[in-house]
Structure 1
Amino acid sequence: DLYDQGYFGRPRGQGLELSLVEAAYLLDRSRIGVSLDGKELDFKAFFQLASSLEKGFEFRYVVYKDLRERGYYVQPGRPDFRVYPRGGHPGESPAEFYVLVISERMPLPLKELIEPVRIAGQMRKKLMMAIVDEESDITFYEAKEKDMSGSMADDEQGGMATLLEDRVVLWDADASRRLHEHGFYGKPVGERLQLSLVESAYLLERGLIQLVDRSGTSIDRRGFMARALQIEDGFDLKYRVYKDLRDRKLVVKTGFKFGTHFRVYKHVAGLQKVPHSEYLVHTVPEDHVFFPPVLSRAVRLAHSVRKQMVFAYPDGDVRYLEIRRLKP
């Protein structure tokens, strides 16, 4: 009955094999009894024993119980659970989610998140992150690889620019207007265009601007990159992501006001009515470690301003990871 009616456990011969969280859930509802060495265990004794045997058992139990009480069929799986869509069940329909359970105090290395994200994607599932806070409340997120693409036209030619302190000024009025209107580059200051370091590096690499210092000495791409690295730590990785996004025909502007590296637009048709950006993109190294409270703030902020939170990281090419709130 436990399997046929609730899809608990796995049939083994004439019996049923239950995971520790399944057993705890059923024991708490007086649907099974548990004994050890001839002694019957109550819920408290069993829960304490299971906690000593399985690291993270308490968090998994909280999530398992919550999902069951929401009406889902849940089975143990990788990384922690498989969740079936409402109206579906094991043996009839495929799982909809793979579930990764995390404590709010548990650092989460990027590599340990990417692996289940990719497995879920390969199996055509969604990865549900269930983060359990100190009061055992659960916040659910979906994590997935993101294909970033836009529809901007090719960039216009610029002109001669000068590197000042930590930014570049393009002096020619017509070139400034073209770059700003057609590619949404820089910030107009009068008839001149002030460019950020990443914008300047990109335009310089593509041969769309020429660059000199205050003395009039020419600066090539290698020399500029060396100076930019002295001004801004991690500039090389930040620029790598910026270049990849621009090459994907997206418009990329600073995301400073949102606490991220970039805000990103799929398309900007003109400056009369600039649309809201669709993404907030933050660059992280391949050895990055997420801390759930910081992650929660970033995703919450993106959601509050109607944007998608995307993390960019190097993995051969630049890869993108979207994390968004999920309401099961």
Structure 2
Amino acid sequence: MIGTLKGDRVALGKESIDELYNTLYYGRLKENELELALVEAAYLLDRDKISVEHEGKKLSFRDFFIIASQAQEYFELKYIVYRDLRERGYYVQPSVTDFRIYPRGGKPNVSPSKYFMHVVTERKPMPMQQLVSNLQAAVNVRKEMILAIVDEESDITYYGVKFNNLKGGMGELKVPSVPGAATFLEDRVVIWDTELSKFLHNNGFHGNMLDDKRLQLSLVESAYLLSTGRLEVLDSATGKPLEIGDFIEKASRIEELFEGKLKVYTDLRNRGLVVKTGFKFGSNFRVYEKVESAEKIPHSKFLVDSVGAGHVFQLQDMSRSIRLANSVRKEMVFAFEKNGEIQYFSLGRIKL
């Protein structure tokens, strides 16, 4: 079967329709022709299923590949991924999302596609807004999103991306009735009152007991408790109580992105989750769905990072975070603010 290269398509005569379109599900029909996307044509050309002519000259695979690479950005990456998927037995159709993929056993024109796949190089940073926009587009048509990242050695890592509605099973912590004061020290807060310390630690699983009398709180925990009326925090220099606005201003001088972290922490706590620092795992927070006892805290389920609206993912850093989360059996979640609300999406490696 001989095709003709026309811009970003290869056109074949109607004799190809029965075998390539009706049986193997390549291309799309246009009048009495079968049009192949460049990546489909390259795959079939490499397997001697078709030949391709351009300006009266028969193209080798090499010649065709070079022309296609000049016509389409990151064509070589898309070809690598397309070939991998086809050889794994998936039916794949090029689309505005790079590819639509059908589930195993599913076929074009017979069953709906299951995935939208986006192909990217490890070298190109990815704006968070672009990732979320692509995910929303997939959700709008009831598809799952897959991110295919191709590294410099042409190995492919597939990541599943999904919105996540995090919910926990913790009840609301009541305002403590016991007296007590806390002091804002250099970069943390300490509660001196033993009864208050034990109340907050045993009932809300806040902070970390320095000994059997005093509780140390992180800045974000302290700001949350202060904003909800469960704590009074004194400035160590003046001895005067801090208002929440003053506390946030003071904490933001210590930690640049503090206010964004506080919004995420507050939202997670309001969702009934227990939130602790994720420093040991390289993230902002580790998150528990439910904790029954301060003496017997289970494994956390999520690692959560707060990212700003203008955040740009460096894909090597993203890969590192996800791999670490998966290695300790946790789900990597990213939190961002949109229209005054905190939203979450998860990223995790998947096997196709």
CA distance in 2, matches of 1:181, 1:324: 33
Determine if the alignment matches structure 1 residue 218 to structure 2 residue 231: no
Determine if the alignment matches structure 1 residue 194 to structure 2 residue 216: yes
Match of 1:47 among 27, 44, 65: 65
CA distance in 1, matches of 2:295, 2:310: 42
Aligned twin of 2:190:
169
Unaligned runs of 5+ in 1: none
Q: Which digits, 9 at most, give the CA deviation of each residue in 1:32-63, with x for residues without a partner?
A: 11101111101000000000000110000000
Match of 2:165 among 125, 130, 147: 147
1:79 positional shift: 1.2
Give 2:260's aligned amino acid.
L
Match of 2:108 among 90, 102, 110: 90
Match of 1:289 among 291, 312, 320: 312
Aligned twin of 2:15:
none
Q: Which digits, 9 at most, give the CA deviation of each residue in 1:197-248, with x for residues without a partner?
A: 0000000000001111224211111111111111111111111111111111
Aligned twin of 1:323:
347
Give 2:43's aligned amino acid.
Y
- Look up the SS of the partner of 2:223 in the other structure: helix
Alpha carbons 1:99, 1:127 under 8 Å: kept: yes
Match of 1:304 among 318, 327, 347: 327
Aligned sequence identity (%): 50
Give 1:256's aligned amino acid.
F
CA distance in 1, matches of 2:87, 2:250: 58
1:119 positional shift: 1.1
Give 1:327's aligned amino acid.
K
Q: Which digits, 9 at most, give the CA deviation of each residue in 1:82-126, with x for residues without a partner?
A: 000011111111111100001011111111111110111121111
Give 1:3's aligned amino acid.
Y
1:127 positional shift: 0.5
Q: Which digits, 9 at most, give the CA deviation of each residue in 1:130-150, with x for residues without a partner?
A: 000111110000111111111
Cα root mean square deviation, aligned: 1.0
Determine if the alignment matches structure 1 residue 36 to structure 2 residue 54: yes
- Look up the SS of the partner of 1:18 in the other structure: strand
Give 1:75's aligned amino acid.
Q
Give 2:85's aligned amino acid.
L
Aligned twin of 1:137:
155
Determine if the alignment matches structure 1 residue 205 to structure 2 residue 223: no
CA distance in 1, matches of 2:37, 2:245: 58
Determine if the alignment matches structure 1 residue 263 to structure 2 residue 281: no
Q: How many residue pairs are counted as aligned between the two chains? A: 328
CA distance in 2, matches of 1:165, 1:117: 41
Normalising by structure 2, what TM-score?
A: 0.92
Give 2:261's aligned amino acid.
K
Give 2:296's aligned amino acid.
K
Alpha carbons 1:146, 1:320 under 8 Å: kept: yes
Judge which range, 316-325 or 208-217, deviates more. 208-217
CA distance in 2, matches of 1:156, 1:213: 25
Normalising by structure 1, what TM-score?
A: 0.98
Determine if the alignment matches structure 1 residue 237 to structure 2 residue 255: no
Alpha carbons 1:78, 1:99 under 8 Å: kept: no
User: Following superposition of structure 1 onto structure 2, how do residues 96-115 of structure 1 map, counting pairs within 5 Å?
Assistant: 96-115=114-133
